[in-house]
Copies of this chain bind each other. A is one copy, B any other.
Amino acid sequence: MARRREWTQETLVAGVRAGNKLALARAITFVENGDPLALALVRDLFPHTGRAFALGITGPPGVGKSTLISALVRHVRARGETVGVISVDPSSPFSQGALLGDRIRLADHFLDEGVFIRSMGTRGHLGGLAEATLQAMLVLDAAGKDLLFLETVGTGQSEVEVGGIADTVLLVLMPGSGDSVQALKAGIMEIPDVIAVNKMDHPAAKTLLNEVRSILSLDREREWRPPIVLTEALREENIAELWEAVERHRAFLGEEGRLESRRRTKLAGEVFAVASSRAKQHLERAVSGDPELRRLLDEVHERRLDPLSAVRAIMERVFKLEDEKRADAA
């Protein structure tokens, strides 16, 4: 195993670009640890990114996302495409608490040179999880992976919004989860591009399919109508059909410059998300390190200063920001 001191910025960039697994693993560890080398690395790699097709896989915990990803990896590998998988779902078998069966199935992929799988912890990222995920995706992209799969939990449950990073978003649902129509609507409102109804053998699969169809039919304005595919990930059933649906959306994006304009919007959104998370960290450090700011919080607790006046004082002190949006009415 290469030790940290053996990697320089140059050897790491070269190793990543050659798709070397050790270099990739090390680069993403630097990213996760917020190592200064990670920033330099991403800067050097960035001109070589933008080639990979990024599929986001999202959905509630327990619907079988990881098993589906495992089956999709097998499918695309059989077609000769290389793939990088990043999971930011803490309940994913890629992360922990895996079912033994899943682990065994995943183990195949870990031995395959054309596959790189990495779970990003949801804690302890110095620069925030959104930032680390963006960097990890760029590293895998620069490594020449044809496909990037990003696993997240859905609808605002995660710091990382898959819709902000992926080219195509696959929403995975399962029947019999007792989700109310409202909950279902909320998931579908996120506007997935493809929907998989997994565990298709479940007696309620048809009901869920119809519910999803009727929710989608409410939105007639949409240029792209998300296909719905019934799957049984554990038995790898309908995986080819699911992939075909993903590819159809990819082809759709390829027309009329849609992919370019989508990526422009998403990259801008990502930059904004990272900046926003940095501002939050800065605030955290400032408040914890400044006795004057801590005194303000004491005054709030004693009800001598109201919370919003405290906020204003903090903004002025930490960000040199005057309250710009509201005049003082007093």
Interface residues of A (CB under 8 A from B): 9, 34-37, 39-40, 42-43, 46-47, 49-50, 60-62, 90-91, 97, 126-127, 131, 134-135, 138, 155-158, 174, 176-180, 182-183, 185-186, 263-264, 267-268, 270-272, 274-276, 278-285, 287, 296-297, 300-301, 303-304, 306-311, 314-315, 318-321, 324-330
Contacts and interface: CB of A to CB of B under 8 A. Distances in A.
Contact of A271 (B39, B174, B270, B314): B314
A317 B142 CA distance: 29
Nearest to A48: B303
Contacts of A156: 156-158
25 contacts: A9-B329, A35-B326, A37-B329, A39-B328, A42-B307, A43-B308, A43-B309, A50-B303, A61-B182, A91-B186, A138-B306, A177-B177, A267-B300, A267-B301, A267-B307, A271-B311, A271-B314, A274-B308, A275-B315, A275-B318, A279-B280, A279-B283, A282-B319, A282-B324, A285-B324
A122 to B, nearest CB: 10
Contacts of A285: 324
Given A271-B297, A308-B42, A126 B276 contact: no
Nearest to A45: B306
Contacts of A157: 155-157
Nearest to A47: B303
* Copies per assembly: 2
A123 B191 CA distance: 18
Contacts of A329: 9, 36-37, 39-40
A268 B158 CA distance: 24
A62 B178 contact: yes
Given A50-B303, A178-B178, A179-B177, A284 B271 contact: no
A283 B274 contact: no
Given A287-B272, A315-B279, A183 B307 contact: no
Listed residue (A156, A177, A308) with the most chain B CB atoms within 10 angstroms of its CB? A308
B43 A300 contact: no
A315 B40 CA distance: 18
A182 B93 CA distance: 10
Contacts of A287: 272, 275
Contacts of A47: 303-304
A252 to B, nearest CB: 21
A320 B138 CA distance: 27
Contact of A180 (B91, B281, B283): B91
A-B pairs with lowest CB-CB distance, top 8: A62-B180, A46-B306, A91-B182, A177-B178, A36-B329, A61-B183, A40-B329, A279-B279
Contacts of A135: 308
Nearest to A174: B178
B307 A134 contact: yes
Given A47-B303, A325-B126, A62 B271 contact: no
A16 to B, nearest CB: 14
A301 to B, nearest CB: 5
Contacts of A306: 42-43, 46, 138
